Amino acid sequence: MTAPANDAQAAGDQTGVPAQVPTPAPAQAAVPAPAATGGGAGEKAPAEPARTTAAEPAPATLPAAAAGAVARPAERAPAHRGAQSKPYNDILHRTLKPSVRWLINRVLMRVSLEGVEHVPSGEPLIFAGNHTSWLDGPLVVIESPRTVRCLTKIEMFRGIVGWLLRLVGQIPIDRGKADRTALHTALDELARGNAIGVFPEGTRGSGEMAAVQHGIAYLAVHGRARVVPVACLGTGDAMPKGARWPRRSVPVRVVFGEPFAVEIPANPRSRKALAQVAEDIRVRLADHLAAARASGPGGTTAG
């Protein structure tokens, strides 16, 4: 697996995130550590009892529920400085997606949908799929029971296609650099408990999950979100490169797997640590892809 920054400049379509990612301040940096509350060299340091008290557990007189309420905001605080992006209004997804899904699955294509029961509601999620065709991104967005905002290469945001992509909430990302705006927008979505979509291979190809870029690890670690593996099978044959319309004669399967959590490294700013998290994610995604292929046809045609 390659980790240099120029991985983000791979040619071809991309709905992923660049390998080069910004190094955010850790979430706990917003709350000064007790030992650092003193001023300059000439100022008097806090009394020793105050440091000891701050490091000790909550007093026995404090109810457990109250102690949990105090700790919870710090634990759930987004681990990024924040782009403060505007919340996306997903009314189009909620109102139009069922009919669009029926049209895609029953009229334009033959799509079978599996594993929808694995997709939880009410928590931040990262949908991560293999990438062999232009169809993969739209299918993940359309077939998911959750509203999904995919990170999509900025080159797609031109003309009527770009207008439609923005209308349905897709997030433009510049593959040639560490796009802080795109990554922070994605983290904002996760902090709100919403779902984003990435194709961590970075560009259309064999879809074998032989390597993934480190951006997905950055989002999973700093967004504190579980990853939902998605296997898009048959899309490369249904709409190969150069085709203008999908082939209805080719069956397509979209298989959602059970969500999994990544292990948060001791130093989430370490590139080496993020590389290890990315490799762990790659293995889990490859295992899901192999299991989906082995299970063969057996899903239900979504309506």
- For residue 64, is it within any domain? no
With 90 as the cut, is the pLDDT of residue 10 above it? Answer: no
- On the question of pLDDT at 259 being above 70, the answer is yes
Look at residue 121 and tell me whether its pLDDT is greater than 50: yes
270-279 per-position pLDDT tens digit: 999 999 999 9
C-alpha 129/C-alpha 151 separation (Å) is: 12
**Residue 58 in domain:** no
Q: Is residue 154 part of a domain?
A: yes
CA count, 13 A, side-chain hemisphere, 253: 18
pLDDT class for 1, splitting at 50, 70, 90? very low
Compute the distance between CA of residue 45 and CA of residue 127 in angstroms, rounded to an integer: 48
- Is position 61 within any domain? no
Alpha carbons 202 and 125: distance in angstroms, whole number: 19
Q: How many domains does the chain have?
A: 1
Query: Which domain, by its residues, includes 230?
Result: 88-301
Q: What is the pLDDT of residue 85?
A: 87
List pLDDT tens digits, range 175-223.
777 788 899 999 999 999 999 999 988 666 566 777 788 999 999 999 9
Angstrom distance (rounded) from CA 259 to CA 118? 7
- Contact present, 112 and 256 (Cβ < 8 Å): no
Give the CA-trace dihedral at 120, 186, 14, 122, to 10 degrees: 10
Contacts 24+ apart (CB under 8 A), 88-93: 88/147, 88/149, 88/169, 88/189, 88/194, 90/147, 90/169, 92/167, 92/168, 93/147, 93/168, 93/169
Cα separation, 262 vs 282, in Å, equals: 11
pLDDT for position 209: 76
Of 28, 27, 74, the closest CA to residue 187 belongs to 27
Give the burial string for 177-191 (b: 16+ CB within 10 Å, else e).
Answer: ebbeebbbbbbbbbb
What percent of the chain lies above the pLDDT cut of 90? 56
Question: Residue 50 pLDDT more than 80?
Answer: no
CATH code of the domain containing 137: 3.40.1130.10
Examine residue 4 and state whether it is found in any structural domain, yes or no.
no
The reply to whether 6 falls in a domain is: no
pLDDT of 148 strictly over 90: yes
Residue 163 within any structural domain of the chain: yes
Average per-residue pLDDT for the chain: 78
pLDDT computed for residue 244 by the predictor: 87
Q: What is each CA distance from 173 to 121, 125, 131, 151, 167, in whole angstroms?
A: 26, 19, 17, 6, 16
Helix then strand count (H, E) for the chain reads 9, 8
What is the distance between the alpha carbons of residues 219 and 227, in angstroms, rounded to a whole number? 10
Q: At residue 15, does pLDDT exceed 70?
A: no
Is residue 228 one of the residues assigned to a domain?
A: yes
